[in-house]
Amino acid sequence: MGVFPHGCEIAASKLIKLWCAEGFLESNSAKTMDDLKIELFLKTLKKQRKASIIVHKISDLKDLVHKSLSKTSKDSVPKCSMDLGPITLAKTVEDSSMEVIKDLESNSGKTLEDFAKECLDELVSRSLVLVRQNSSNSHHGIKTCKTHTTYWHMCVKEAGKDKFFHVINNYANGVRKGVESIRRLCIHNNVLFGIKDVYKSMVSVSNARSLLCTGPHHQYPIPMCFSLRLLRVLDALTIRFYTFPIEVLKLVQLRYLAFTYNKSLPASISKLWNLQYLIVHRQYPSINPSRARRLPIEIWNMQELRHLEVMGSDLPYPNFATALLPNLLTLLGISAESCTEEVLGRIPNLKRLGIQNELGLDDAQSLSCFDHLSHLYGLQTLKCIVVNPKPSFQVVAPAPPPFSVFPSGLKKLTLSGLGLPWEYMSVIAQLPKLEILKLRNYAFQGPVWKVYDSQFSRLKFLLLEDTDLEFWSVGCSHSLLLKHLIIRHCYKLKEFSTLVSGILSVEMIELVDCSPSLAASAKKILEGRMTCGKNRAQLIVSSSEDDGKRKS
């Protein structure tokens, strides 16, 4: 993680994608099938029999790292690779075999990203990586993280000494001699691209495989270094492009491309046939549906795509019968109109889907995005938001959609701005594997929400944010497995009644900008739990005005 600025909080999801795109989980296809031992940096997966990963055992390095941290001895620092994160304590193998990776995924039932998450969890357990913010996901509970200070300095020092990566955070570092053989560059200040000497120095690093721009967002045009033809990773998300950088199409080795651009992508983007991760953000979200961007039909030719994130775009209907994106696991930011049977049916292995609806709530198609989700049998995470919603305070409840519209394997559901009546919740409550439910910005409307017996049988995390809810009741609360409850900006909800007291599994309640009476009600109920000998639960009350938190 030394490539990121000191103290920088890093999204765990971004680390995972960068690690995978860099090729840290590599194979030696010379090994026989029977010799497969997948050693994902931290764990030996003895049951795999397709290939073996060349990697140094982290268990051996762990002692050296802790010894160097405790004694601060220069000589005890392990000679190891330290690129995009501590995961690169393992030896980096430059050439990958995607066929072996696909075999690994198909035989283990886990994706490459799943293995990388396990590595990150292990690094956290060894205190090399510090968790800054927890995720709602109980299985992979890291949302943001940072490197231990001592370890960060060690990474930067050793990586510079071994010429493994080079950080450019000032003019002196930008024009330093002897960096021509460096494989990875990281820019902490995007303005440095505009300095002629620095730009010329970066161009000389012709063997660079990664270029990361991790500085603050820069909204004005600056020259970008696209002459590094061997790049596999180009992260320029903090740089806004006013015209599409046509030079990037020459970087045919790219696996990871991220940048900010408000217009539509050209058809020629498909020339980057090695791309696995394509991320394009907007500078400002559109509030005009007619301005929605449309992805080129050629996107269907990019067979290696694993993660596609182009905010507020239409994914076109493929006009040829063989169109298929078999490796695509994550699709984020597409419009509701894209969620047709013809489109979704050609992404058979999708696990995570994010829908961005920029239509008005009175539009007849506002719920059509749910009609064909049942075709996604492997879908585990679904997010559907309406940009700039206009909630109505006179809700007329139509008949709820059938339960079958949602995939039965759905584990995490986030809804925002839909303005649905609470009657629709009866459909969601039947999902047999749902563990995480987030309702934001008037996702549901109305004063009363009743949870009936046998609903939400596996729900562990619930977020209610910006609703007009006044009364919330639970039928048989003893059967709920809810552990974490967050309520934000729900000013009309005045008390919990017997809700929390009946949920024996609850471990934490967070109230943000809620009424004082709701906080008092929660405190009273939790105190009553203790007198009855039930497990203690933590109550956190905070306000955005004082940015303070009170715990009890």
pLDDT tens track for 204-214: 888 889 999 88
For the chain, counts of helices (H) and of strands (E): 11, 27
Q: Per-domain residue ranges for the chain?
A: 10-152, 390-552
pLDDT of res. 391: 67
Q: State whether residue 386 is helix, strand or coil.
A: strand
Please return the burial class of 494, using the count of CB atoms within 10 Å of its CB with bins 0-12, 13-18 and 19+.
middle
SS3 state at 205: coil
Distance CA 128, CA 86 (A): 7
For the chain, residues with pLDDT lower than 70 are 1-2, 24-109, 137-140, 174-176, 284-292, 359-368, 391-404, 476-479, 497-504, 531-535, 546-552
Structure tokens at 423: 């009657």
Say if residues 537 and 507 touch (Cβ distance below 8 Å).
yes
pLDDT of residue 15: 87
pLDDT the model gives residue 56: 38
Backbone angles phi, psi at 112, to 5 degrees: -60, -40
Q: What is the pLDDT of residues 278-292, one digit of tens each?
A: 999 987 655 454 555
CATH of domain 390-552: 3.80.10
pLDDT for 366: 54
Q: Which two tokens stand for residue 417?
A: 């701005």
Cβ 415 vs Cβ 391: under 8 Å: no
Q: Specify the pLDDT at position 359.
A: 57
pLDDT of res. 533: 62
**pLDDT at residue number 33:** 30
Q: Give me 196's structure tokens.
A: 């002629």
Q: What is the pLDDT of residues 44-55, one digit of tens each?
A: 333 333 333 323
- What tokens appear for 373 in the block? 């989700």
Whole-angstrom Cα distance, residue 73 to residue 413? 48
